[in-house]
Amino acid sequence: MLRRNKINLGMVIGLVIFMVSCTSNAQSKDEKQRRQKPPSIEEVFKIMDADEDGKLSKEEVKGPLKRDFSKIDTDEDGFITKEELEKAPKPERKGPPKREQ
């Protein structure tokens, strides 16, 4: 009887571990899919516009926006507006190389 209880307990523990690992793996895939999608212009401004003036200065931006600031700031006033960002060329996405079919 004790041996049978140990087997049942082992099966229950194994099932719980399996379920937790499946849930964890599914969450990881969801997070990866969310990260692959670039943020909207509204999200970029919400994150980076520290002084909430509706414009992004070179000090506020980071990443590709900082690198390409002068290309995006078409009126050369030292700020990126939502309109300028909408018209900006899309940065090349780094990722795994595309496979030829």
Is 46 within the bounds of a domain?
yes
What is the number of structural domains in the chain?
2
Same structural domain, 17 and 55: no
Q: Which residues contact 39 (CB under 8 A, 6 or more apart)?
A: 47
From CA 51, how far away is CA 16, in angstroms rounded? 48
From CA 43, how far away is CA 72, in angstroms rounded? 17
Structure tokens at 41: 């212009």
Is 71 within the bounds of a domain?
yes
Segments forming the whole domain that contains residue 7: 1-37
The pTM is what?
Answer: 0.56
CATH number for the domain harbouring residue 46: 1.10.238
Same structural domain, 43 and 85: yes
pLDDT tens-digit map of 64-94: 889 999 999 999 999 999 999 999 877 666 6
